[in-house]
């Protein structure tokens, strides 16, 4: 990861309100050239608003966005050198794939021959050569996303912002496509912010991961560090930890670090709600006596409980969080 380079994108103390609702509160982070930052958070946490503010579609109440050290405050959207790619690729209808991709370099005033080379190179990068004359309406969802990426790349952005670009694409195609996206963006030295709600996708794709909850960036760091050391109980919950009240705070532990012991063992009693096969093993959903739903991942050798039965829940490795004053 090229972390020693100066950042391409710097967001500092960014606050945004929509109407009179404060949506982002003092968000700060940096992305280096060629680096991919996964931005994760639940619905309504402010992810799209953050991307819109970076690209210049929302005016921040406070804070700065810098590209290669330059403050973008007075720079209009189309001159920022930032590409934005949304969940549903918005290609120009009634224009061919080629015309869609060559559009960026042409409006930037590049000579025809240069725009032509750019468009062909970009289509080759996303492995869509041969589709030049197609009408976008005849493409599959995955093909459309690749053309949209080619169009973004052909415009030579310094920064690319991806807002759930794989959400509408089936799991089989998605795995290959996201790998290709990452490769193409890194190869071009583009700084990327990739928004996803999918925890596994975010941890897998990100050189670093940022978690946004309720408009505040709770943590930014290496995927393993963010996963293993959430800074607060809300972030732990978002990352899939089981959380139980304990004393003046909470204890949190991973489903894969939990086990179900026979009734009569030491530990909290739980009721089994559901059992399902995951491929690697089984996932058991249980309810504590205080009403929390918790998950336990069992391996394939485990003897499975039945819904309605009682067990005692125990776990290895846990984190403790105290209630904030």
Ligand X SMILES: Nc1ncnc2c1ncn2[C@@H]1O[C@H](COP(=O)(O)OP(=O)(O)OP(=O)(O)O)[C@@H](O)[C@H]1O
174 binds, among ligand X, Mg ion, none (CB under 5 to 8 A by kind): none
For the bound state, the minimum distance from the C-beta of residue 197 to ligand X, rounded and expressed in Å, comes to 6
Tokens, residue 312: 């005692």
By a kind-dependent CB cut-off of 5 to 8 A, residue 34 interacts, out of ligand X, Mg ion, none, with none
- The minimum distance between CB 205 and ligand X, in angstroms, equals 17
- CB crowding 35-57: b at 16 or more within 10 Å, else e: bbbbbbbeeebbbbbbbbbbbbe
Using alpha carbons only, how large is the chain's radius of gyration in Å? Answer: 23
The one of ligand X, Mg ion, none whose footprint includes residue 43, by CB under 5 to 8 A per kind, is ligand X
Q: Is 299 exposed, middle or buried (0-12, 13-18, 19+ CB in 10 A)?
A: exposed
Decide which of ligand X, Mg ion, none touches 218; Cβ closer than 5 to 8 Å per partner kind: none
Query: Which of ligand X, Mg ion, none has residue 208 at its interface (CB below 5 to 8 Å by kind)?
Result: none
Give the CA diameter of the chain.
79
Q: How far is the CB of 88 from Mg ion (least distance, A)?
A: 12
Minimum separation from the CB atom of position 195 to Mg ion (A):
7
Closer Cβ to ligand X, 197 or 259, answer by number: 197
Q: How far is the CB of 315 from ligand X (least distance, A)?
A: 30
Report the interface residues with Mg ion, using CB under 5 A. Answer: 48
Residue number with CB closer to Mg ion (27 or 252) = 27
196 binds, among Mg ion, ligand X, none (CB under 5 to 8 A by kind): none
- Considering Cα of 126, then 129, then 133, then 138, what sign does the dihedral take? negative
Query: Nearest Cα to 100, choosing from 133, 72, 141, 64?
Result: 133
Of 45 and 145, nearer to ligand X (C-beta) is 45
Nearer to ligand X, 4 or 21 (CB): 21
Q: In the bound complex, what is the minimum distance in angstroms from residue 17's beta carbon to ligand X?
A: 8
235 binds, among ligand X, Mg ion, none (CB under 5 to 8 A by kind): none
Task: State the minimum distance, in angstroms, from the CB of residue 159 to Mg ion.
Answer: 18
Helices 97-107 and 112-125, packing angle to 10 deg: 130
- What does DSSP assign to residue 45? S
Helix and strand element counts for the chain (H, E): 8, 18
Whose Cβ is closer to Mg ion: residue 201's or residue 256's?
201
State in angstroms the smallest separation of the CB of 21 from ligand X. 4
Contact between 198 and 39 under an 8 Å Cβ cutoff? The reply is: no
Instruction: Report long-range pairs for 199-206 (Cβ below 8 Å, ≥24 apart).
Output: 199/40, 199/238, 199/239, 199/240, 201/38, 201/166, 202/38, 202/39, 202/40, 203/38, 203/227, 205/36, 205/38, 205/178, 206/36, 206/37, 206/38
In the β-sheet with 269-277, what is the strand arrangement from edge to edge? Answer: 258-261, 310-315, 269-277, 281-288, 293-299
Residue ranges in contact with ligand X by CB under 6 A:
18-19, 21, 23, 41, 43-49, 197
Q: Which is nearer to Mg ion, 40 or 294 (CB)?
A: 40
If contact means CB under 5 to 8 A according to the sort of partner, which of ligand X, Mg ion, none does residue 21 touch?
Answer: ligand X
Contact 79, 73 (CB under 8 A): no
Q: Which residue is nearest to Mg ion (CB)?
A: 48
- Residue closer to ligand X by CB (options 54, 122) is 54
Residue nearer to ligand X on the CB measure, 178 or 311: 178
């Amino acid at each position: 990861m090229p972390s020693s380079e100066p950042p391409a994108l710097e967001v500092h103390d960014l606050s945004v309100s929509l109407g009179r609702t404060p949506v982002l509160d003092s968000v700060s982070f940096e992305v280096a050239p060629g680096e991919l930052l996964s931005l994760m958070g639940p619905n309504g946490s402010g992810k799209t608003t953050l991307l819109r503010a970076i690209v210049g579609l929302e005016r921040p109440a406070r804070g700065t966005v810098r590209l290669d050290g330059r403050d973008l405050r007075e720079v209009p959207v189309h001159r920022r050198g930032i590409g934005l790619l949304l969940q549903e690729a918005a290609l120009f209808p009634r224009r061919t794939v080629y015309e869609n991709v060559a559009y960026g370099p042409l409006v930037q005033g590049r000579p025809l021959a240069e725009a032509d080379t750019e468009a062909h190179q970009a289509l080759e990068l996303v492995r869509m050569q041969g589709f030049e004359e197609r009408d976008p309406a005849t493409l599959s969802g995955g093909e459309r996303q690749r053309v949209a990426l080619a169009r973004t790349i052909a415009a030579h952005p310094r920064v690319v912002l991806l807002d759930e670009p794989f959400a509408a694409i089936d799991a089989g195609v998605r795995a290959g496509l996201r790998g290709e996206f990452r490769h193409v963006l890194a190869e071009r030295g583009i700084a990327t912010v990739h928004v996803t709600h999918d925890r596994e996708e975010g941890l897998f794709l990100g050189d670093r991961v940022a978690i946004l909850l309720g408009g505040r960036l709770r943590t930014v760091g290496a995927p393993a560090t963010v996963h293993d050391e959430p800074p607060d109980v809300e972030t732990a919950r978002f990352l899939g930890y089981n959380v139980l009240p304990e004393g003046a705070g909470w204890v949190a532990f991973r489903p894969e670090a939990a086990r179900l012991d026979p009734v009569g063992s030491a530990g909290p009693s739980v009721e089994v709600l559901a059992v399902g096969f995951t491929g690697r093993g089984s996932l058991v959903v249980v309810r504590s006596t205080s009403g929390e739903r918790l998950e336990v991942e069992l391996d394939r050798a485990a003897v499975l409980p039945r819904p309605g039965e009682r067990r005692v829940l125990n776990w290895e490795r846990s984190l403790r969080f105290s209630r904030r004053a």
